[in-house]
Structure 1
Amino acid sequence: MGEKGRFVLPPDFRKAVRDSGLGERVLCIAKHPRWKCLTGFGLSRVAEFENELDREERVALERGQDFDRDLRAQQLYGFARVPFDDSGRFILPERFFKLGALTDAAFFQGGGKQFTIWSPDVLAEMGAGWEDAQEACLDLAQQARNGKGRK
């Protein structure tokens, strides 16, 4: 977290979010449905939510599992629209600090339709399968401490 309590959306993520938002500088943020982290995406992803709900419901039925469409819809549509400036700076709404266990640092991971935003401490506890993300997070933190990267 930088000055005035703002985080900075990394350049690659910033471009993807802006492009998927038809040029609008709006980051959509929500709580990840399973992990103790946040998800981020551009505005165009919202148009896919109904198809995603249909697909998830169909898969659950095929597997003989319950599917609470209302709960899942609430999770998908319960995101916040957060504007960011040309430098990627944005102010994270207060509720997301608790939902994502964030304090003064965040690690952005992934790509595709959405990405995740992690507390470095929570990411460090994720276990097997997360080694690459954990090492990348540690490397970026070291660069920031050495003044070679953005904080």
Structure 2
Amino acid sequence: MGRTPRKKNLFLDTIVNKVDAKGRVSIPADYRALLEQQETELVAFRSFTSPCIECCTSEMMDRLASDIDRSFNMFSSEQDDLTSLIYADAKEFPFDSTGRIVLSEKLMKHAGITDKAAFVGKGRTFQIWNPDLYAKEEEKIRARALQNRLSIKNGGSDND
């Protein structure tokens, strides 16, 4: 008997795609399939921690809103800053018939993207980077991980 393929729930891998002169870029097929499977929209905004574009599902944005509501006093300067950085900059990106989105000039400039874009899986989210900038960032991440001996607490598995 064959095994039923497991549903994909995470954005995985790093994939580099070409960006055309109009800012159109193909979303990797696995990423598109995950968004379609979850029947959700792609939402993107400029990262405020890195020179990249943060991408997630509309459901993840809803969860983020709940987290912000629980974490900050309404109308506090911290809440105002964070919501302005995220929501005022966020936009839903529909795919065209070939699975492409159009990156705005503002997003491309922020991430230093010109003719290529690296889609970097981050589990429940992903980022879009200039491939050269991400290669340098990845080296730093690996060095920090080695220095800090990053580990994950083993909480068990749903498949045990």
Same fold by TM-score greater than 0.5: yes
Secondary structure in structure 2 of the residue aligned to 1:109: strand
Equivalent position of 1:76 in the other structure: 86
Question: In structure 2, which of residues 82, 99, 104 is the aligned counterpart of residue 93 of structure 1?
Answer: 104
Please give the secondary structure, in 2, of the residue aligned with 1:39. Answer: strand
List gaps (5 residues or longer) in structure 1: 59-65, 132-151
8-17 vs 66-75, which deviates more?
66-75
Identity %: 26
CA distance in structure 1 between the aligned counterparts of 2:100 and 2:37, rounded to whole angstroms = 17
Partner of 1:14: 32
Aligned alpha-carbon RMSD (Å): 2.5
CA separation of 1:113/1:57 partners in 2, compared to 1, >3 Å: closer, same or farther? farther
Give the superposition deviation at 1:48: 1.0
Cα gap change, 1:129/1:30 in structure 2, threshold over 3 Å: closer, same or farther? Answer: same
- Over 3 Å counting, the alpha-carbon distance change for 1:5 and 1:34 in structure 2 is closer
List per-residue Cα deviations over 1:69-125 (Å, max 9, x = no partner).
111112221211121124321111121011111111011111433111110121122
Q: Is the 8 A contact 1:16 1:42 kept in 2?
A: no
Q: 3-state SS of the aligned residue for 1:51?
A: helix
SS in 1 for 2:98: coil
Contact 1:37 1:116 in 2 (8 A): yes
**2:57 pairs with one of 42, 64, 75:** 42
Cα distance between partner residues in 1 of 2:70 and 2:114: 35
Match of 1:28 in 2: 43
> One-letter code of the match for 2:140?
A
Aligned pairs, number: 121
In the superposition, the TM-score normalised over structure 1's length comes to 0.67
Counterpart of 1:47, as a letter, is: D
Which fold has the larger relative contact order, with Cα–Cα distance below 8 Å and residues 6 or more apart in sequence?
2
Q: Distance in 2 between matches of 1:57 and 1:112?
A: 25
CA gap 1:42/1:50 in 2 versus in 1, 3 angstroms: closer
Residues 1:107 and 2:122 are matched in the alignment = no
